[in-house]
Amino acid sequence: MSSTNMFSVYGRMTALPGRRDDLIALLHECARAGGDDCGLLNYSVNTAPEDPDTIWMTQLWVDQAAHDATTRSEPVAAATRRLLPLLVREPEGSYGHAVYVHDRRSE
């Protein structure tokens, strides 16, 4: 079984009615706030077809230390603080250690 040191994040959030696009834009800002060299390898922001106000996102980090340091850094923490007022409830989600990561676009 392969294994990597890469650290993965899944999050699911429901915006206040009509605020999903603001939430998406802010998540995109949060993802870039750490800078190009913060260790965030890839991320996606996705709408949920079954719920017009819900999005879910994934992040893949070079390791957990990079994730922890970046999310605590002021630019990212400041952007993240602006998320909660847009949400109906606390975000759900999970962390993970990436066992397989395969990207055909980089072949």
Binding mask 64-83 for its own copies (x = CB under 8 A): --------------------
Query: According to the binding rule CB under 8 A, does residue 24 interact with its own copies?
Result: yes
**25 alpha carbon, distance to own chain's centre:** 12
Whether 45 and 2 have beta carbons less than 8 Å apart is answered as no
Residue-wise over 39-61: b if at least 16 C-beta within 10 A, else e?
bbbebebeeeeeeebbbbbebbb
Among 1, 74, 85, 90, binds its own copies (CB under 8 A): 1
Among 13, 33, 55, 76, binds its own copies (CB under 8 A): 55
Tokens found for residue 92: 């759900």
Stretch that binds its own copies, among 17-25, 66-74, 79-87 (CB under 8 A): 17-25
**23 alpha carbon, distance to own chain's centre:** 12
- Least Å distance between CB 16 and its own copies? 17
Tokens found for residue 21: 């696009």
Q: Applying CB under 8 A, which residues contact its own copies?
A: 1-2, 8, 10, 12, 21, 24-25, 27-28, 31, 36, 40-50, 55-56, 58, 60, 94-106
